[in-house]
Structure 1
């Protein structure tokens, strides 16, 4: 992301999507800035934006290819859905748009990130982060079975992502090792949950009935046609069983035979491969594979299970992780954003423009601070981190200041993108190239100026908020008083943050 001289009048093709109304509040004081508001439907052909490379996989409705962004050179995964194959199937069409909607809500380091999507005459295209380490299934096959610390590390990441989903009323419904990717082929890899095509937003205390999933991993209550989010926990339990033993708990010569065994609900922990597995690990497997969903452990409870806690506490953080944590805590203290527009621009940069190399450092620091693994950093977790440096009372005061500045969506937590925005070195995010790309995203008509109308389009096109809200955002940083922001005013607004945060 090197800095370079800027050029004016670079036309942008960003347009707002129909989903963005969920993410913004009705006044400047309570304006909620989430990463999801910047995930938009692009105009034009995907080939105008990406150089398409090799095919990564294929399914009944489409395929996944690699692509290189022509804007910043970053590699992405592009999932293309053939419209002709789903044109007569409204359920499949709704699944695509549901996947877009759900991924726009996700802001978690263990859930694949969606950047944008396209529609042309023949295909829908989802552009997500490119995860280079392959499927967890391939890693398991190569390693046969994993040590308990390694299995616990992968399970904590999976459960963290699923706990986050369930907290946000989202159920995945097709968890399996093929839908879990690794950022590198290593036992300390970052795990990413993918393929939310069968996911659903659910209502508490209401059962789901549609049968989705892959037979080896599907919960008995799904087969019976009445289930809740605990079906994901069953799938996680099957995955844990495989991580520890190298094989699934239920197998057979046909799907019918496997389904019969699942419905019967019996499996073995007595075969030779379980001989050296700890009783704590077996305990977690049993609680995740309880046949009765209401008796099954929740994702958050599983994260707090003694087997996860013991194995994760016994693994010493690396020197790099501790250094990342120290730097992040210092930067959080120094972070300043004087206005909502600065917050919005930083959120765009943090969610759309941070490189793969930079992401690893942020995830390491985030995981160290996220003690309970729920994918968000709470006040209590921040206080615990600062208490060592400055004592209880001073830590509480400091954290309140941080929350007011960094909690851009007013959720009461520091979400992952908010953490990146506030904990990064200011000059890491605010360089000339990033500012130019951000300006193009906000200058939707390519006129070289950002108007109140364009802010409304980017940050909240479906809101019925009065125009003065968007005009006020402009007025706060409009140096020449013409009611619009040009590139110089835009850069001036953001460059102030570097001196403020030093």
Structure 2
């Protein structure tokens, strides 16, 4: 499934983003604004690029997972946090960032001696994360949920084609453009290089993790992702996640609290199959009857949402 050459990051990738010559420090290029959020991953601030006024977000990174950008040249140590390495990998064919509109673009990154790293991202406007979107709306109507899920799956397929697995797909890591309904996946801080073998580490969100991680502390990339998509779809159409406790995850038996079509329930249950081998592939999700039926009429997003823009 994965061409090993696709994950061989090069020093050239860094030069594409950082420029061929030494660049000015962060504070010379950007104005740092209000704190937007913080946690174990670090902190996210609103900001502005001084040269043209572009609105951006900056994120501090304290990751303890690093990847060499020149694995074939040990005499040139170029270790960067995994998140930066993955974003470079996604944008490898385009210095301006990922060529898929469903992935947040990294605009720049800086090493701050003694303080870690700063990552600068585009700041789509107006937007809000999918968690807030669902909270304000109560539930997402099935046609719109199908539209959202299709975008997320296609963005994930792009990531996998570039040798990257996100590992923390959830509503809080998805931005919604409140004018158009377009989505972007954010926060690759829990991500990893895609591989066909078993993973035994996980830093994603536990209530989105599959039974095999809860029971055996191991999983494969695609079944993990598909399980999280099942949780996400349930979250959209029911207004909350299906499982809170480990025992509920292991039971793999979601109880539907809203009136959901049988076709939608069918896709959710398939994604949330206890055995990983019983779950669909990403391609099968896109070809599920519910996805194909709902795709005919998603309505006008702006009229449907009736939500004031939020930054």
TM-score when scaled to structure 1?
0.50
Larger relative contact order (Cα-Cα within 8 Å, sequence gap ≥ 6): 1
Please point out which of 122, 136, 152 is paired with 1:142: 136
Pair 1:160 & 2:147 matched: no
Spell out the pairing of 1:51-200 with structure 2 (5 A cutoff). 51-81=31-61, 91-93=64-66, 97-106=81-90, 107=98, 108-121=100-113, 122-132=115-125, 133-184=127-178, 188-200=180-192
Please point out which of 259, 266, 269 is paired with 1:283: 266
Partner of 2:293: 310
Q: Following the alignment from structure 2 to structure 1, what is the Cα–Cα distance between the partners of residues 148 and 172?
A: 14
Q: CA offsets per residue over residues 412-433 of structure 1, 9 Å max, x none?
A: xxxxxxxxxxxxxxxxxxxxxx
- SS where residue 229 of structure 2 aligns? helix
Q: Following the alignment from structure 1 to structure 2, what is the Cα–Cα distance between the partners of residues 21 and 45?
A: 20
Spell out the pairing of 1:381-420 with structure 2 (5 A cutoff). none
Pair 1:267 & 2:254 matched: yes
Unaligned runs of 5+ in 1: 1-17, 24-35, 252-257, 319-502
Q: Following the alignment from structure 1 to structure 2, what is the Cα–Cα distance between the partners of residues 293 and 151?
A: 24
Partner of 2:233: 240
Unaligned runs of 5+ in 2: 1-7, 68-78, 91-97, 302-311
Please point out which of 25, 38, 48 is paired with 2:16: 38
Spell out the pairing of 1:292-371 with structure 2 (5 A cutoff). 292-315=275-298
Deviation at 1:62, TM superposition (A): 2.1
Q: Following the alignment from structure 2 to structure 1, what is the Cα–Cα distance between the partners of residues 134 and 281?
A: 25
Q: Following the alignment from structure 1 to structure 2, what is the Cα–Cα distance between the partners of residues 266 and 147?
A: 22
- SS where residue 39 of structure 1 aligns? helix
Q: CA offsets per residue over residues 177-208 of structure 1, 9 Å max, x none?
A: 11111222x5x42111111111111222x111
Asked whether the 8 Å contact 1:64–1:80 carries over to 2, the reply is yes
Name the one with the larger strand percent.
2
Q: 1:167 to 1:294 in 2, by over 3 A?
A: farther
Q: CA offsets per residue over residues 148-196 of structure 1, 9 Å max, x none?
A: 1111111111111112222333221111111111222x5x421111111
Deviation at 1:240, TM superposition (A): 0.3
CA RMSD of aligned residues (A): 2.4
Q: Following the alignment from structure 2 to structure 1, what is the Cα–Cα distance between the partners of residues 108 and 58?
A: 10
- Say which one has the larger Rg: 1
Deviation at 1:19, TM superposition (A): 4.5
Q: Following the alignment from structure 1 to structure 2, what is the Cα–Cα distance between the partners of residues 296 and 161?
A: 19
Asked whether the 8 Å contact 1:96–1:197 carries over to 2, the reply is no
Q: Following the alignment from structure 2 to structure 1, what is the Cα–Cα distance between the partners of residues 248 and 300?
A: 41
Partner of 1:228: 220
Name the one with the larger helix percent.
1
Q: CA offsets per residue over residues 77-133 of structure 1, 9 Å max, x none?
A: 110135xxx6xxxx3455962111111222211111111101122231101111341
TM-score when scaled to structure 2?
0.79
Q: 1:143 to 1:210 in 2, by over 3 A?
A: same
Asked whether the 8 Å contact 2:9–2:89 carries over to 1, the reply is no
